[in-house]
A and B are shown apart, each in its own frame.
Chain A
Amino acid sequence: MGIRFILMVNKQGQTRLAQYYEWLTLEERRALEGEIVRKCLARNEQQCSFVEHRNYKIVYRRYASLFFLVGVDNDENELAILEFIHLLVETMDRHFGNVCELDIMFHLEKAHFMLEEMVMNGSIVETSKANILSPIQLMDKAS
């Protein structure tokens, strides 16, 4: 399965984007987000960007006020996921131009579309920024 969920959470612990690749009920999601966000926000810069939580690992990366959290299976390459987060940010950067928390808040669907292009069934399927962004640009043009 690889990636189980992708979360974007701001410094105050508010969820800004959540995408799950396995079904969890609303309650489970809320509990899970609460737990891991608390865990990750408590960590400092020097500590490593991986946290073990129950039977999976969380890879997180902070950009200004926004935390990107990716929950992965135990045999996933954590560094690669860390870089995948960066790739995601670079891609959003290219689309929004200097992306910030507000861009994601107000264009939630775009952020989701990008994720949909990049990750399917919990696996990374597309890493070329051009390929990721072209459908979104086409849609923008069409409407």
Chain B
Amino acid sequence: MKEYIIRLVYVEMLGHDASFGYIHAVKMIHDDSLLVKRTGYLAVTLFLNEDHDLIILIVNTIQKDLKSDNYLVVCAALNAVCKLINEETIPAVLPQIVELLAHPKEAVRKKAIMALHRFYQKSPSSVSHLVSNFRKRLCDNDPGVMGATLCPLFDLITNDVNSYKDLVISFVSILKQVAERRLPKAYDYHQMPAPFIQIKLLKILALLGSSDKQASENMYTVVGDIFRKCDSSSNIGNAVLYECICCVSSIYPNPKLLESAADAISRFLKSDSHNLKYMGIDALGRLIKISPEIAEQHQLAVIDCLEDPDDTLKRKTFELLYKMTKSTNVEVIVDRMIDYMNSINDNHYKTEIASRCVELAEQFAPSNQWFIQTMNKVFEHAGDLVNIKVAHNLMRLIAEGFGEDDDTADSQLRSSAVESYLHILGEPKLPSVFLQVICWVLGEYGTADGKYSASYITGKLCDVAEAYSNDETVKAYAVTALMKIYAFEIAAGRKVDMLPECHSLMEEFLASHSTDLQQRAYELQAVIGLDAHAVESILPSDASCEDIEVDKALSFLNDYIQEAIEKGAQPYIPESERTGMLNISNFRNQDHHEASSHGLRFEAYELPKQTVQARIPPASLASTELVPVPEPMYPRESYQTTTVPSVSSDAASTELKLRLDGVQKRWGRQTHFPSTSTSNSTSLKTVNGITQVDGSNTANSRTRETYDSRKQVEISPEKQKLAASLFGGPSKTEKKSATGHKSSKPSSHMVKSHAPKSSMEVASEKTSVQQPPDLLDFGEPTVKSTAPSLDPFKDLEGLLEPTTQVSSAVNHSSTAAVTKSPDIMGLYTETTAGAHHKDSDILSGLSNPPMTNMVGGTTTMQVAQSSKGPNLKDSLEKDALVRQMGVTPSSQNPNLFKDILG
């Protein structure tokens, strides 16, 4: 029999239905033989879920087995309890399980704890009085039971941290004992003492110490010990290290621990193993919240991961980027995300990344123009996956503009939106949400700037309505847009010629099955028949953001209601009171008793019909009397407009959909452009070349490592740019000074020559001057082993001094510097070549650990630099171009160091 049941398990496992045999498995658990019994239990746990009908047959056997003298039988039953007991049957076994907590066999105690854990998961209230047992079992003298107890405690603490603060000391001392190898050898795994218990404990400590300084202080020593003791050459050691990092990043920050964590992360990231890189990226994402500056050291590694063919790693990196997005790097990051989004076809992840794009774009968008373009891209590629709210946001933005009193900018924005939409309409298949936005914008602003004729726009709109003829919402938007355009035309006093296709479309819609479409079509017809004055007051141009006052109380109906009540109608019952009643009225009459037995008593029930009547009047009346819009001459039309919720230029729609207050606030940051760049942008452009050159100088002066030249070629320009744009620009420095920095940013020497210019620059210089030692401190140990123990940085600085002096004169006139640059470069390459000749064996390429991390921000530049060697100018120009286009053209590099310094 046992063999048959196992075959049956197989059958199910391979995806075939085996329900005919379930009953035999249930019978098997009655067997006397232990092995057969346990196999039976195994089979039922695999076959049945806790709500299966056969469970009731099993509960009795479980009860009996829980009382068995043979502890293995008890264990088998407890296994089944964990899987098969549902909320209703918990009381049937609970007392026995509580008894078993004191069982002499540790295996039984452990499983009993886990059974309680299961009950807690199922229904926390059923075991709430037994929570103290978990605490008691934590002190069990069997490590297995203690380890198991951590599972329920973890859940309990996740749900309610504060009640368990007193256990911090216990957890810390347990962790300490574990780390000191006080547990039996049997728990060791690859020379690590009970790593899984350590990990669980660290997870718990992370919860307990989060934003609790006092609790965290108790943990510092033990976590520091574990950092030191962990063997980072084995997987399990790294697993514990990773958990330590998570813990450190969750508890109250401690500089020393953060440092160890950063060390561990850099070891992860430098590893060849993709698994460790993945963990490193994840850990970086956690730590970055506390110390954002550590990202700088790892930019190259991060970019490598981003470009790795491994999808998992890529996603993780995007997650990291998402966490470190700032207003300065948002453009690059979002562009990357969108590219990636286009390349995948997993809808689940696509939705996620689309919503992240939207979120980032909303939070950090540097300009509205960019925002609109970004949103267009997102909609185009993932439109159906995006929340409709996002579309409304976009419409609102276009309608309201910057929120500044700059009408020309607004209208520019709109006409550029219109233009881009007309262009996009050429694409074959667009998502519905996006089409709605397009229709709305075209309707509202299509003819606003006079660039496109009404007939052109209406033709386009008709095309849309025809092309997407099975999408009612899009059609509705299109019709409304048509109506608006015609209305604007009429209001402007021009004669309106309806296109033939528009006519046929209208005819079709007038007979549409959708009442909404029909309604809109009739409205359109009516509007066209009116004179200019009337139309203007119905659909005023560009009024989508005006507030429309709606008399919510419908006070004008009071007389009517009064009258009705006098005639004997029931007074209106608010919806909140009514809902219960409606539920009941769904039942048949004889269900009355039931309803009342549930405690729902509504005396008014005898007169259902009258109640209904009384409720109806406001609505049914509206068509005749409701005139909320101040346009008494055309009551019918104005009423209609109010009922079309999606015409956001009108009436109640503001109420319905543009509930986006606060959006504007998120946009507050966008605007350094108009103020600063007007004055500087011209000069900026001409200067751009120099900026570049200067940048390269920095790189030169900082360079002290050499890469295998072949490898270098592979990494460089692209990544350097990316790195610069991702990590470069923290938003700390004032943007206004950005352009000033630009020319001064490069190297400290450069800055010196510029120094008198402004105090701001001096400040920035200081930061960058201070930087080098820092970097070196970090890098030193690694360098020693490989390079001759010179302080390469200083050396190079010295070497470069003359160069800079030579060029410093030149620096004043910006254009000259461009021409100068190749020379500097030449000088530089010589020096590096000379200095680091012997290092060739460390040059295993970009994965070469020592350099990647110690040079941090500078490395990237330098790497790019040295690789560019021959056609330096070319790549510089390219670089310049990219910065101009892809990145906020201000402040990446000057702030690089600032960021590191905090």
Residue numbers of A with Cβ under 8 A of B are 1, 14-15, 17-19, 23, 26, 29-30, 33, 43, 46-52, 54-55, 77-80, 82-84, 86-87, 108-109, 112-113, 116, 120-121, 123-131, 135, 138-140, 142-143
Contact = CB atoms under 8 A, between A and B. Distances in A.
Contacts of B6: 108-109
B184 A78 contact: no
Most chain B CB neighbours (cut-off 10 Å) among A14, A26, A48: A48
A109 to B, nearest CB: 5
B144 A109 contact: no
27 contacts: A19-B46, A47-B274, A48-B277, A48-B313, A49-B275, A50-B278, A52-B315, A52-B349, A55-B348, A78-B275, A82-B239, A82-B275, A86-B235, A116-B79, A120-B82, A120-B148, A121-B151, A123-B114, A123-B117, A123-B151, A125-B147, A127-B187, A128-B144, A131-B107, A139-B35, A143-B34, A143-B36
A51 B49 CA distance: 28
A55 B13 CA distance: 23
B584 interface: no
Contacts of B639: none
Interface stretch (B124-132, B188-196, B542-550, B762-770): B188-196
Nearest to A50: B312
A125 B239 contact: no
B50 interface: yes
Contact of A125 (B33, B72, B151, B190): B151
A26 B12 CA distance: 8
Interface string B171-203: 000000000000010110110001111011001
B34 A127 contact: no
Given A83-B239, A128-B186, A139-B34, A54 B114 contact: no
Contacts of B279: 78-79
A109 B38 CA distance: 9
Contact of A17 (B13, B38, B147, B151): B13
Nearest to A112: B42
Contacts of A52: 312, 315, 349
B114 A125 contact: yes
Nearest to A87: B189
B243 interface: yes
Nearest to A24: B49
Nearest to B75: A135
Contacts of B200: 124
B713 interface: no
Contact of A79 (B15, B110, B114, B275): B275
B34 A79 contact: no
A126 B515 CA distance: 65
A113 B76 CA distance: 9
A49 B311 CA distance: 11
A55 B351 CA distance: 12
B310 interface: yes
Contact of A126 (B79, B117, B147, B236): B147
Contacts of B79: 116, 120
Contacts of B273: 48
Given A47-B274, A47-B312, A54 B348 contact: yes
B111 interface: yes
Given A52-B312, A109-B39, A127-B187, A79 B235 contact: yes
Most chain A CB neighbours (cut-off 10 Å) among B82, B151, B196, B348: B196
B13 to A, nearest CB: 5
Contacts of A46: 274, 310
Contacts of A116: 42, 79
Given A14-B14, A47-B274, A109 B42 contact: yes
B40 to A, nearest CB: 10
Contacts of A130: 186
B432 to A, nearest CB: 25
Contacts of B9: 108-109
Interface string B253-279: 000000000000000000001111111
A84 B190 CA distance: 12
B238 interface: yes
Contact of B189 (A30, A83, A131): A83
B235 A83 contact: yes
A47 B114 CA distance: 36
A126 B143 CA distance: 9
B370 interface: no
Nearest to B33: A143
A79 B240 CA distance: 9
Interface string B263-306: 00000000001111111000000000000000000000000000
Given A135-B72, A139-B38, A121 B144 contact: no
Contacts of A17: 13
A67 to B, nearest CB: 15
Contacts of A47: 274, 309-310, 312-313
A125 B148 contact: yes
B488 interface: no
Given A52-B349, A87-B189, A82 B196 contact: no
B445 interface: no
Which 5 A/B pairs are nearest by Cβ-Cβ distance?
A: A79-B239, A48-B274, A128-B186, A123-B151, A80-B239
Contacts of A131: 107, 144, 186
Contacts of B10: 108
Given A47-B274, A48-B313, A128 B184 contact: yes
A15 B14 contact: yes
B434 interface: no
Most chain A CB neighbours (cut-off 10 Å) among B110, B239, B276: B239
Contacts of A84: 196
Interface in B547-566: none
B327 interface: no
Interface string B837-879: 0000000000000000000000000000000000000000000
B239 A127 contact: no
A120 to B, nearest CB: 4
B827 to A, nearest CB: 41
Contacts of B310: 43, 46-48
B196 A127 contact: yes
Most chain A CB neighbours (cut-off 10 Å) among B15, B39, B46, B313: B15
Contact of A128 (B151, B187, B240): B187
Nearest to B52: A23
A50 B280 CA distance: 13
B186 A79 contact: no
B17 interface: yes
A80 B236 contact: yes
B392 interface: no
A40 to B, nearest CB: 11
B30 interface: no
A13 to B, nearest CB: 11
A127 B194 contact: yes
A121 B151 CA distance: 9
B88 to A, nearest CB: 16
A130 to B, nearest CB: 5
B470 to A, nearest CB: 29
A78 B348 contact: no
B477 interface: no
Interface in B356-376: none
Interface in B1-37: 2, 6, 9-10, 12-15, 17, 33-36
A65 B717 CA distance: 43
A117 B147 CA distance: 13
Nearest to B348: A54
B242 interface: yes
Nearest to B35: A143
A129 B10 CA distance: 26
A77 B453 CA distance: 61
Given A79-B239, A116-B42, A139-B34, A51 B312 contact: yes
B72 A139 contact: yes
B121 interface: yes
B111 A120 contact: yes
Most chain B CB neighbours (cut-off 10 Å) among A43, A54, A82, A124: A124
